[in-house]
Amino acid sequence: MSLASIIILVILGLVGIGLYALLITRNLIKVVIGLQMMVKGAILALVLAGRLSGQVNLGQSLALTVVVADTIVAVIALALAVQIRRHCGTLDLNDLATLRR
Amino acid sequence: MDVSLLTSLWVALPLLSSPVIYLIGRLTVRRTPHKANPAGWLAVAALAIDAILLALTVDANNKGIATAFKFGDVVMRADGISFVLGGSAVLLGLLVTIFSLQYMAGEEGEEKYYALLTAMIGTIVGLGCTRDLFNLWVWFEAMAITSYMLVAFYREQPASLEAGIKYLVQSAVGSTLVLLGIALVFASTGSLDLDHIMLVTQSGSTLLLAAGALFLIGFGVKAALVPMHTWLPDAHSMAPSGISAMLSGVVIEAGLVALLRVMGAISGSSLAWGWLLLGFGLLNMTLGNLLALRQTQVKRLLAFSSISHVGYMLVGLGLAVTYGLHDGAAGAFFHLITHALMKGLAFLAVGALMYGLYLANHKHDALMVDDLNGASKRYPLAVFGLSIAVLGLGGLPPLAGFMSKWQIFVAGAEAQSTAALVIVIYMALNSVLSLGYYAPLVNRMYRKEPSPVILTGKRIGWQISLPLVLLTAAVILLGVYPTALSWLTDTAATSLLALFGAI
Amino acid sequence: MVYAVGAGAIYAAQFHLLSHSIFKALLFLGAGAVIHSVGTRDMRLMGGLGKQMPLVRTVFVIGALALAGIPILNGFWSKELVLEGGLANGPLWMYILMVSGAGLTAFYTCRMVSMVFFGEPRTHLHGHDAGTAMKIALIPLAFGALTSWLLAGPFSHLLGEESLPFHGVHTLTTLHILEEIISIPTLIALLVVALGLLAWWQRGRLGWMAKAFNWLGWSAEHSFGFEAINHAIVNGTQATGEGLRVTQTGQLNWNVMGILIGLLAVLATLIIFGLGA
């Protein structure tokens, strides 16, 4: 098994687990963690793509940019979670389903 | 002035002014907590200058013929699509900022609101001009980040927080899918430049098809394609009204433009893209209209109607891509502009009523359809604006919405195929269906007895009235002179067909 | 009118449009005056109104006769022109259909006028006479219905030279046109119209026929079922809209599921249809 195919498996695993977490967990913090796992898979995919197309530097700089953007998203998500805990008193997604229909 | 510098300034000004607005606003509030916050006026000034820059840029760029310019070290390109999207963002943004001067007055963290709003406008303008796949994602993500914070701006309100987190999670999943798609394209072509990608992807490959699907879904979350639309009604109904107007008027369309740009680059890989756009268009129209039919909250109703209007644009674009029809694209871009005006007007008018009925009394209740009963007695201007907006959205001549829908219908007839004709007839039926929920609103506002909540409503000031008057006039005038913007929509259509390699 | 255009008789169609615009305006305004006066739209509740509003009755009768195509009123001339154009250039069965239509028109017009203005009052409804403004509007129209056919020549001139030069409308004098109208087909048409009137006159004896057409009357009363279909569509759509609201669960997990479903659907579509490029 080549390095590339191992990394592809890792990417699929990360994205798959992240998506699965988003589909089944009810805890908001775990949802954010699932989101992070998906993005980490995508970052790995960018690095791998850079390597496969022979542009390692470009691939890595893309990955770094994504890390920055992704961190901001994570920070906002966690800040929202804190506010939700404060004002709604819960982090359970079942209780966060008041906007519907 | 040099065209390149001028265009860069147009893109950069909102982005540069955003931190300045925040700092000055914040410092003033610290020093003199009881004085009015200057952030709003600063934002108005910045956007007004940007609107002037927009006019100069359009003029310098031969009215939208694609021109490359250097934004720092990055090469970007302003074409017809950039001006349709960027122009809508700046002009609607300016009106929303003026509107917010009263609507947001005295809210905690007012300076954040204005700083984020100008930043969001800047990122949308930049998004329209990019020609690099990864830069497109960066602009897109920056726009998304500003919009998350704006949707959850009322951070004491549980409902607004809930809408914010849902929007964030769904949108973030979408942009992760886009990243995976970028990785696939990058791996198979070794390039990120959209023009170059288009040149080297003239044959189909499984990797590119998968990338295309990821783009369609990833950007589709932002553009509210069904079934990725579920965040939209929550976010649009819970955001401050000015932000609802921006989200509905330009942000979902920005998702659409981003989608078109990347899809154009990989369009050589399959013939199915145009049909996929048509399919999503029909789905959006149907579901949006049916769900709007029985809504009881006004802003939620308008949000579902946005879903259906994205459907009209998608059908116009799908016709353009599938049959190479210039008119389909021109109609879709015209509808993008008229929808920005009409939906902007609708949300601002509803915001005006919400302000008068609830916010001025320090309440955060949602505006229900029943609250509109007899509102014309006390708020004639806002009610007239809302009526014009919803009737225009329903496609009643001679308002702007009729003209743009009509242009899409004409494109369908030009396609000279049975499928396109069936689609056009279906669209027309959907327009009739949409009147089923727009017309009762108007009836309710003018003909019913005022509800008690109307009678206790507060007055609204000129800051709220002025944008309403301007937008109402624009919706009516564009209906009477629909050709006034055809120079822009035609160049945008040419740009689109160029993106898809049809020219 | 559409019939005439189809048969190539452009001038006839335009001329009928002119006549029609005059006498139909007269009839609608007259009907408006009546409705305004008695406060109902149901003809079955009216009757004997001629005594109360003599002027409206007179002009309405003029309009109705024009609509029925009775000679010397403008409807007669233009309708005959249409029918003749149709006979000359269209299929025969269509002509027969149109002529029977003309007879039917004469029949229902008569019924309407007699129901509203003549006979005994059916209910206690008492109309006041129309106001002066209404009368002022009605009189010129009645005059027009009586005389506008005299303009046939100038009208053809106007059309032929200025408005529709590409349709080969010949410019003719009024007299010429009127001569052309008076011919055998005209007599046939007049005969049918007279039959229609006769049918109204002798309606008591045509009871069997009325019974035969009862179902038609019934379905006309129920809008030929369109009303019911309309109701079904509206209610069905509303119910679908209400039912679909369940899909907006508000659950974040479901929303993410929507994204996944969308992705899978697009991938499936591409696998099935997309590889053929």
B383 domain residue, yes or no? yes
Task: Examine residue B427 and state whether it is found in any structural domain, yes or no.
Answer: yes
Query: Residue B10 and residue C239: Cα distance in Å, rounded?
Result: 49
Residue whose pair of structure tokens reads 């540069």 in the numeric block = B16
pLDDT score, position C175: 66
Q: How many CB atoms lie within 10 A of CB C223?
A: 11
What confidence score (pLDDT) does residue B493 get? 92
Predicted confidence (pLDDT) at residue A44 exceeds the cutoff of 70: yes
What phi, psi does C166 have (nearest 5°)? -90, -5
Interchain CB contact of C253 with A (< 8 Å): yes
Domain residue limits, chain C: 2-212, 226-276
> Token pair of B432, please?
């009739």
Domains and CATH numbers, chain A: 3-88 (1.10.287.3510)
Position C15 scores a pLDDT of: 79
CB B218 within 8 A of CB B178: yes
Q: Helices B252-265 and B298-323: crossing angle, nearest 10°? A: 20
* Interface touch B234/C250, C-beta < 8 Å: yes
Token reading at B174: 């979408």
Closest approach of C146 to chain B, Cα-based (Å): 37
* End-to-end CA gap in chain B: 31
Beta-carbon contacts of B365 under 8 Å, excluding residues fewer than 6 positions away, are B358
Sort out which chain A residues have CB atoms less than 8 A from B162's CB and list them: 84, 88, 96-99
Of C238, C255, C270, the CB nearest to B166: C255
Given its phi and psi angles, is residue B416 left (phi above 0), alpha (psi -120 to 50 degrees) or beta? left
Q: Would an 8 Å CB–CB cutoff place C252 in contact with chain A?
A: yes
Percent share of chain B, pLDDT over 90: 70
As a 3-state breakdown, chain C gives helix, strand, coil percent values, each rounded to 5, of 80, 0, 20
Chain A contact for C260 (CB, 8 A cutoff): yes
Contact state of A31 with B183 under an 8 Å Cβ cutoff: no
Looking at every residue in chain C, the average pLDDT score rounds to 76
* Residue pair B455/B371 in contact by the 8 Å Cβ criterion: no
Residue B438 has pLDDT above 50, yes or no: yes
Mean pLDDT of B86-96: 96
pLDDT digits (tens, 9 = 90+) for B100-128: 999 998 888 899 999 999 999 999 999 99
Chain A: nearest CA to C241, how far in angstroms? 10
Of B166, B270, B293, the CB nearest to C274: B270
State the average pLDDT over residues B406-432. Answer: 91
C40 vs B497, more confident = B497
For the stretch B279-317, pLDDT in tens is 999 999 999 999 999 999 999 999 999 999 999 999 999
pLDDT in tens, B336-368: 999 999 999 999 999 999 999 988 888 888 899
Summarize the confidence of residues B465-481 as an average pLDDT.
95
Q: How far apart are CA B317 and CA B307, in angstroms?
A: 15
Q: CB-based contact (8 Å) between C250 and chain A?
A: yes
**B427 Cβ contact list (under 8 Å, min separation 6):** B285, B312, B315, B405, B408, B409, B412
C144 touches C77 (CB < 8 A):
no
How many CB atoms are located within 10 Å of the residue C205 CB?
Answer: 9
* Torsion-angle region of C230 (φ positive above 0: left; ψ -120 to 50: alpha; else: beta): alpha
**pLDDT for B502 beyond 80:** no
Nearest Cα to B160, choosing from B90, B92, B85, B241?
A: B241
Banded model confidence at residue C159, pLDDT cuts 50, 70, 90: low
Nearest CA among B16, B110, B32, B22 for reference residue B72: B16
Q: Which residue of A has its CA nearest to C252?
A: A93
Pairwise CB contact (< 8 Å): A58 & B192: yes
Q: Is A27 helix (H, G, I), strand (E, B) or coil?
A: strand
When CB atoms are compared, the residue of C242, C254, C277 closest to B269 is: C277
**Which residues in chain B have their CB less than 8 angstroms from residue A18's CB?**
176
Residues paired with C240 in a beta bridge: none
Quick check: C213 pLDDT over 50?
A: yes
User: How far is residue C63's CA from residue C72's CA, in Å, rounded to a whole number?
Assistant: 12
From the list B170, B212, B216, the residue facing C255 with the nearest CB is B170
The separation between CA B322 and the C-alpha centre of its own chain, rounded to angstroms, equals 24
Q: Is residue B227 reached through a cis peptide bond, with omega within 30 degrees of 0 on the bond before it? A: yes
Residue C165 has pLDDT above 50, yes or no: no
The answer to whether B291 contacts C245, with C-beta atoms less than 8 Å apart, is yes
pLDDT value of position C169: 54
Reported confidence tier of residue C126, pLDDT bands at 50, 70, 90: low
- Rounded to whole angstroms, how far apart are CA atoms C59 and B450? 45
- The pLDDT tens digits for B193-248 are 998 888 888 776 888 889 999 999 999 999 999 899 999 999 999 999 999 999 99
Chains sharing 3 or more CB pairs under 8 A with chain B:
A, C
Q: C267 to chain B: which residues are within 8 Å by CB?
A: 210, 213
Cβ neighbours for B422, distance < 8 A, ≥ 6 positions apart: none
CA distance C220 to chain B (A): 26
For residue B34, the model assigns a pLDDT of: 82
Say whether pLDDT at B74 is over 50: yes
B278: Cβ contacts below 8 Å, ≥ 6 apart: B314, B315, B318, B319, B322, B423
**CA atoms of B129 and B234, how far apart (whole Å):** 30
Distance from CA of A31 to the nearest CA of C (A): 9
Q: How far is C53 from chain B (nearest CA, A)?
A: 34
* CA B36 to each of CA B47, B69, B118, B156, B361: distance values in angstroms, whole numbers, following the listed order: 20, 40, 19, 22, 19
In the three-class reduction of DSSP (H, G, I as helix; E, B as strand; rest coil), residue B292 is classed as helix
Average pLDDT over residues C184-206: 73
Q: What are phi and psi of B75, to 5 degrees?
A: -85, 125
- Confidence grade of residue C205 (pLDDT, cut at 50, 70, 90): low
pLDDT at A100 over 80: yes
pLDDT tens-digit readout, B405-415: 999 999 998 88
**From the CB of residue C128, how many other CB atoms can be counted at a distance below 10 Å?**
10
The Cα-based distances of C235 to B482, C219, C240 in angstroms read 36, 22, 8
ipTM over 0.95: yes
CB contact under 8 A, C250 and A97: yes
Question: What's the residue count for chain C?
Answer: 277
| Chain C residues in contact with B217 (beta carbon < 8 A) | 259, 262-263, 266
Residues from chain C contacting residue A93 (CB–CB below 8 Å): 251-253
Q: DSSP assignment, residue C118? A: S
B150 domain-assigned: no
Which amino acid is present at A20?
A: Y
Q: Could A53 and B186 be called an inter-chain contact, meaning their C-beta atoms sit closer than 8 Å?
A: yes
- A97: nearest CB among C245, C249, C260: C249
Instruction: Map tokens 């019939």 to a residue.
Output: C3
HSE, CB side, 13 Å, CA atoms: give it for residue A66.
Answer: 29
User: What's chain A's length in residues?
Assistant: 101
Residue of B nearest to C251 (CA): B166
Q: Does B168 touch chain A (CB under 8 A)?
A: yes
List the single best residue of A56, A80, A86, A91 to mutate versus B (max B Cβ within 10 A). A80
Tell me the pLDDT of chain B averaged across its residues: 91
Of A22, A94, A96, the CB nearest to C256: A22
Contact B255, B223 (CB under 8 A): yes
Is residue C41 scored above 80 in pLDDT?
no
Given a cut of 60, whether residue C168 has pLDDT beyond it is: no
Chosen from A73, A82, A94 to mutate, greatest number of chain B CBs within 10 A: A73
Q: What is the pLDDT of residue B221?
A: 95
- The answer to whether residue B144 sits within a structural domain is no
For an interface test with A, which of C242, C246, C251, C255 has the most A Cβ atoms less than 10 Å from its Cβ? C251
Residue B285 lies in a domain: yes
With bands split at pLDDT 50, 70 and 90, how would you rate the model's confidence at C277? very low
Judge whether B37 and B112 are in contact, CB under 8 Å: no
Q: How far apart are CA B112 and CA B100, in angstroms?
A: 13
pLDDT at C178: 66
What is the distance in angstroms between the Cα of A3 and the nearest Cα belonging to chain B?
15
Angle at Cα B284 formed by Cα B282 and Cα B285, nearest 5°?
A: 65
- pLDDT class for B12, splitting at 50, 70, 90? very high
Backbone phi, psi, residue B300, to 5°:
-65, -40
- What tokens appear for B216 in the block? 């369609």
- In DSSP terms, B77 is beta-bridged to B68
Token pair recorded at residue B166: 């849902």
Nearest CA distance, A45 vs chain B (angstrom):
6
Amino acid identity, residue B180? L
Give the residue carrying structure tokens 């209740």. Answer: B365
Choose among A25, A93, A101: nearest Cβ to C248: A101
Q: Summarize the confidence of residues C187-193 as an average pLDDT.
A: 76
Q: Which chain A residues are closer than 8 Å to C260 by Cβ?
A: 19, 23
User: Chain B residues with CB inside 8 Å of A39's CB?
Assistant: 172, 176, 179
For residue A36, the model assigns a pLDDT of 95
CA distances from B164 to B151, B172, C134 (A): 6, 12, 62
Tens of pLDDT, residues B128-162? 999 899 999 999 999 999 999 999 999 889 999 99
Q: Given an 8 Å threshold on Cβ–Cβ distance, is A98 in contact with B157?
A: no
A22 to chain C: nearest residue by CA? C253
CA C167, chain centre distance (Å): 26
* pLDDT confidence of residue C123: 64
Q: Identify the closest residue of chain C to A26 by CA–CA distance.
A: C253
pLDDT at position C206: 64
State the virtual CA torsion across B160, B85, B212, A14 in degrees, nearest 10.
Answer: -30
Chain A residues with CB-CB distance to C250 below 8 A = 97-101
CB contact under 8 A, C252 and A31: yes
Cβ-Cβ pairs closer than 8 A, A with B, add up to 113
> Quick one: which H or E segment has residue B58?
helix B39-60
**CB nearest to B145's CB, from A38, A62, A73:** A73
3-state secondary structure B125-149: HHHHHCCEHHHHHHHHHHHHHHHHH
* Residues forming a β-bridge with B69: B76
Number of domains in chain B: 1
Q: Which of C255, A75, A15, A25 is nearest to B166 (CA)?
A: C255
